[in-house]
Amino acid sequence: MRFDLDDDLAHARRHVRTFAQERIAPIAAQLDAEARYPRETLRAMGEMGLMGVATPERYGGSGMDVLAYVTFLEEIAAADASHATLMAVTNGLPQKMLLDHGSEAQREAYLPPLASGRQFGAFCLSEPQAGSDAAALRTRAVRDGSGYRLRGVKAWVTAGGEADLYLVLAVTDPDAGARGISAFLIPADADGLSFGAPERKLGQHAAVTTTVRLDDVFVPDADRIGREGEGFVAAMTSLDGGRIGIAAQSVGIARAAYHHALAYADERIAFGRRIREFQGVSFPLAEMATRIDAARLLVQRAAWAMDRGYRVTKEASMAKLHASETAGFVTDAALQVLGGAGYTRDHPIERYLRDARVTRIYEGTSEIQRVVVARQIVRELERGELT
Amino acid sequence: MIDFSLGPTQKEMQGLARRFARDRIAPVAAQHDRDASYPTDVIDEAARLGLLNLRVPEAQGGLGLGVLDEAIVGEELAFGCMGIYTVLMASDLGVTPLVLHGSENQRDRFLTPLVGGGARLAAFALSEPDAGSDPAAIRTRARREEGGWRLNGRKMWISNGALADFTVVFATSDPERGAAASVALVVPADADGLSWREVHGKLGQRAAPTFEMILDDVHVPEDHLLGEVGDGIRIALSTLDQTRVPVAAGSVGVARRALHEASRYATERKAFGKPIAQHQAIAFKLADMEIRLQTARWQTWHAAWLADAGEPCGHHAAIAKAYASDAAFESASEAVNVLGGYGYVDAYPVAKLLRDVKLNQIYEGTNEIQRLVIARRVIREAEA
């Protein structure tokens, strides 16, 4: 058992950290204030190989593993959570679904532009009335000659209106529940595809979120990923990786908040001493450090297991649950260390707090992660596989 | 004897404040939050209805209400918007030092103009850029001069500030002697050398303007001094002992709003074939929110009752302030999760609850300072 990163990855991490701190961190507050999609820095991330980290080199990716991916994602998130979300979205389902379930022709056509960051991918699953409960999806895909007509509204689409390619889940057989849902790739300029105004969110303003409207959008058979009816199950399996990504992002945000609070507590004087010398401050800092370490280890364990081909449903949900709750705790406790100063935009902590809040919601709320973990542990109990 | 019932006047005030919050505050809260704009019309009407400067004594033409009355009203107003309530609450924070420590003459001069005609505000200036939780470290200097005092320094985080008719400023007449040389001086808005800088970019409570106060050779006459030289910190702390109760009450209002929004959504939104309120993961959250709400309200009202009875209330006010604001933050955060994605966008009011109530854990003494106050007494009792 080893807990250190190998030299190549440690070196790459330093490289990504330098980029994130020099190029992204200085503009994060401005992007937040303007709710601006950060096209230039995303392109630079693509050139660094960060937009297809685990996609094989033959499809234009960096050919690294999930451990590398979460390591880089933490670094980006420590500079700006919105960049990390955008990185996670395009690295995630669009590429993962193509790799796991796409045909060779689809992979060759779609992966290189995505993995190199020349194009940006988005994922459309949730609907206004259906989030955690996918069986309630209403977007329909109806057979039309050599393809389908898609009609419906998707909600909470990150990079909606900005992305070049949309992975959309739609119902092909309304009587088959989760097994009646198929996955389709739709280019941004498809007829009938339109986007709502950006949502006004609590945080992660630069990771623009919109609704996506499908008005009889035609999708040829060639752009359906996998077999008809397999889209939902395939997406759910691929979501495991997505959850590890959100967990890594949570660790990054928490780390940034913790470092800021620690530096402040080292400088700020009250009652004649640096406030870090008071246990009222040093204990919360110790708690932050402990929880962040535990969260990162859960992330690395899940990534490690995924790299070895294990099923990581439980491990991914545990990592996401713990890391996102940690980010909530840490950003709040860090803000409290700064007091009134932390409540203003003179310091980045209030942004970290706003940005972190959604990690307990997207890619399955914390409540849904508990559902997943509970289901898995009951299964282990029934099989006599408790660890 | 213990009696948990409200009197007829209190019920009337509660009903008035509840209707005002529902009809006048809640509908405009999101807009003032988004624009960070001062709610002129709301404050004007609150003044007309007698919901502003509740603590101005009857002798000065006010309602002379107590801390419990203020807590009852405060919960209702904060249900509508914590930021807008802060404008009203912070004015009573400026009024309270005069109620507790002003001479009859000082009260007549400064408090009488606050009531009976339009919205007139007061403010309270204790914190400085480099001294918040540690008031003995204040650097703002008050020097004696012909006919009064000359003030120099900077004060931070002043709610109402530039909009107030006067600000009670805490300063030191001798930095070497700390609290023993502290003074409380009433600084009128039109004093020469007084200027304000608005604090921008607050996380929440954006309807309540916050200022930095710059005192540059500000002269105030001798009779603007509250109490004696050396009383400043004591006046500040005894004020805060009482005014932390309204902060707690505002937190209770936010906690109640969080439960209100979460329970309404949870009974409508369906997942896995039934309203999400029927799933225990959500139902238990609602139950916990209700437990916190009830507990926080009774802590708050108990502290208020002690203050009104003339009993020492600092310990219980600290408990109420820390507990209620922590409870409200937790409930607001849980409400966000009950609403999921909708909780994260400003089309619904719950994300704002979270941003707003974070400040309740900070102002009028951070919750860490409340714990310090509470722990001191626990330790003192154990040692005695």
Three-class SS of chain A:
CCCCCCHHHHHHHHHHHHHHHHHHHHHHHHHHHHCCCCHHHHHHHHHCCCCCCCCCHHHCCCCCCHHHHHHHHHHHHHHCHHHHHHHHHHHCHHHHHHHHHCCHHHHHHHHHHHHCCCCCEEEECCECCECCCHHHCCCEEEEECCEEEEEEEEEEEECCCCCCEEEEEEECCHHHHHHHEEEEEEECCCCCEEECCCCCECCCCCCCEEEEEEEEEEEEHHHEECCCCEHHHHHHHHHHHHHHHHHHHHHHHHHHHHHHHHHHHHHCEECCEEHHHCHHHHHHHHHHHHHHHHHHHHHHHHHHHHHCCCCCHHHHHHHHHHHHHHHHHHHHHHHHHHHHHHHECCCCHHHHHHHHHHHHCCCCCHHHHHHHHHHHHHHHHHCCCCC
pLDDT of residue A132: 65
A136 touches chain B (CB under 8 A): yes
The helix/strand/coil state of B340 is coil
A-contacting residues in B 180-199 (Cβ below 8 Å): 199
Q: What is the pLDDT of residues B152-161, one digit of tens each?
A: 999 999 999 9
CA distance, residue B134 to nearest chain A CA (Å): 6
DSSP B132: S
Gap between the Cα atoms of A22 and A255, Å rounded: 17
Cβ of residue B127 closer than 8 Å to a chain A Cβ: yes
**Residue B134 DSSP label:** -
Partners of A141 in beta bridges: A150
User: Considering CB atoms only, which of B130, B131, B337 is closest to A365?
Assistant: B337
Q: How far is B279 from chain A (nearest CA, A)?
A: 10
Of A194, A196, A199, residue with least CA distance to A211: A196
Q: Could you tell me which of B151, B120, B123 has the C-alpha nearest to residue B47?
A: B120
- Distance, in Å, from the CA atom of A135 to the CA atom of A141, rounded to the nearest integer, reads 15
Q: What burial class does residue A107 get, using C-beta atoms within 10 Å of its C-beta: 0-12 exposed, 13-18 middle, 19+ buried? A: middle
Flag whether residue B135 sits within 8 Å of chain A, measured between CB atoms: no
How far apart, in whole angstroms, are the C-alpha atoms of residue B282 and residue B276?
A: 6
From B179, B181, B89, B105, select the one nearest B143 (Cα to Cα): B181
Q: Do A202 and B202 touch (CB under 8 A)?
A: no
* Each residue's pLDDT tens digit, B225-256: 999 999 999 999 999 999 999 999 999 999 99
Mean pLDDT, chain B, rounded, equals 96
B202 with A135: Cβ contact below 8 A: no
Question: What sign for the dihedral angle of Cα B325, B326, B332, B333?
Answer: positive
A335 touches chain B (CB under 8 A): yes
Residue A328 · residue B298 · CB < 8 Å = no
Cβ-nearest to A361 among B157, B270, B344? B344
Residues A331, A335, A338, A342, Cα dihedral to 10°: 120
Which contiguous run of DSSP H or E holds residue B219? strand B210-221
pLDDT of residue A237: 80
Chain B partners of A126 at a C-beta cutoff of 8 Å? 341
ipTM of the predicted assembly exceeds 0.85: no
Closest to B181 in 3D by CA, of B120, B136, B125: B136
Mind telling me how many Å the CA of B203 is from chain A's nearest CA? 6
Cα dihedral B206/B208/B209/B210 (nearest 10): -90
Distance from CA of A75 to the nearest CA of B (A): 24
Cα separation, B135 vs B145, whole angstroms: 24
Give the chain A residue nearest B285 (alpha carbons): A367
CA distance A44 to A56: 20
The Cα of B112 is separated from the nearest Cα of chain A by a number of Å equal to 32
Contacts across the A-B interface (CB distance below 8 Å): 110
CB B242 within 8 A of CB B97: no
Contacts of B343 in chain A (CB under 8 A): 361
Structure tokens belonging to residue B258: 């969080």
Q: Which of B271, B344, B363 sits opposite A358 (nearest CB)?
A: B344
- Interchain pair B203, A344: CB under 8 A: yes
DSSP state letter for B21: I
Using left for φ > 0, alpha for ψ between -120 and 50, and beta otherwise, residue B302 falls in alpha
A24: Cα within 13 Å, side-chain hemisphere: 27
Amino acid at A305: A
Residues of A in contact with B272 (CB under 8 A): 133, 135
Q: A152 φ, ψ to 5°?
A: 155, -175
- pLDDT at residue B367 greater than cutoff 90: yes
Whether A277 is a known active-site residue: answer no
Q: What confidence category does residue B3 fall into, taking pLDDT thresholds of 50, 70 and 90? A: confident
Catalytically annotated residue among A363, A380, A382, A385: A363
Q: What is the DSSP letter of B345?
A: B
Q: Which residues of A touch B134 (CB under 8 A)?
A: 270-271
Q: Do B341 and A131 touch (CB under 8 A)?
A: yes
Distance from CA of B139 to the nearest CA of A (A): 13
A361 vs B199: CB contact, 8 Å cut-off? no
Radius of gyration of chain B (CA): 21
Sequential DSSP letters for B168-215:
EEEEES-GGGGGGGEEEEEEETT-TTEEEEE---BSS-TTS-EEEEEE
Residues in chain A where the model's pLDDT stays below 50: none
CB burial readout B166-202, b (16+ within 10 A) else e: bbbbbbbbeeeeebebbbbbbbbeebeebebeebeeb
| CB contact (8 A) between residue A203 and residue B157 | no
Terminal alpha carbon distance of chain B: 28
Residue B362: the pLDDT is 96
Quick check: B368 and A350 CB within 8 A? no
Nearest to B341 among A328, A361, A366 (CB): A361
Which distant-in-sequence residues (6+ apart) come within 8 Å of B320 by Cβ?
Answer: B244, B245, B248, B296, B299, B300, B302, B303
Contact B362 A328 (CB under 8 A): no
Average pLDDT of the segment spanning B289-295: 96
Length of chain B: 384
User: What is d(CA B27, CA B31) in angstroms, rounded to the nearest whole number?
Assistant: 8
The predicted-structure confidence for B54-94, as pLDDT tens digits, reads as follows 999 999 999 999 999 999 999 999 999 999 999 999 999 99
For B178, which residue in chain A has the nearest alpha carbon?
Answer: A271
Shortest Cα distance from A233 to chain B (angstroms)?
Answer: 17
Pull the structure tokens for residue B205.
Answer: 């409570």
Question: Position of tokens 């994260």?
Answer: B344
Cβ–Cβ contact B371 with A under 8 A: yes
pLDDT over 80 at B146, yes or no = yes
Catalytic hit among B45, B364, B368, B383? B364
Could you give the CA distance from residue B270 to residue B266 in angstroms, rounded to a whole number? 8
Tell me, what amino acid is at B195? S
- Taking the C-alpha atoms of residue B96 and residue B242, their distance in angstroms, rounded to an integer, is 8
Question: What is the pLDDT, as a whole number, of residue A240?
Answer: 81
Q: Which of A132, A156, A339 sits opposite B366 (nearest CB)?
A: A339
Q: Do B271 and A370 touch (CB under 8 A)?
A: no
8 Å CB contact of A270 and B134: yes
The H-or-E segment that residue B217 falls in is: strand B210-221
- Judge: A332–B358 Cβ closer than 8 Å, yes or no: yes
Q: Dump pLDDT digits (tens) for A147-184.
A: 999 999 999 999 999 999 999 999 999 999 889 999 99
> What's the count of helices (H) and strands (E) in chain B, helices before strands?
12, 10
What span, in angstroms and rounded, lies between the C-alpha atoms of A315 and A70?
14
Is the minimum CB–CB distance between B262 and chain A shorter than 8 Å? no
Phi, psi of B143 (to 5 degrees): -110, 135
Q: Which of B271, B345, B347 sits opposite A133 (nearest CB)?
A: B271
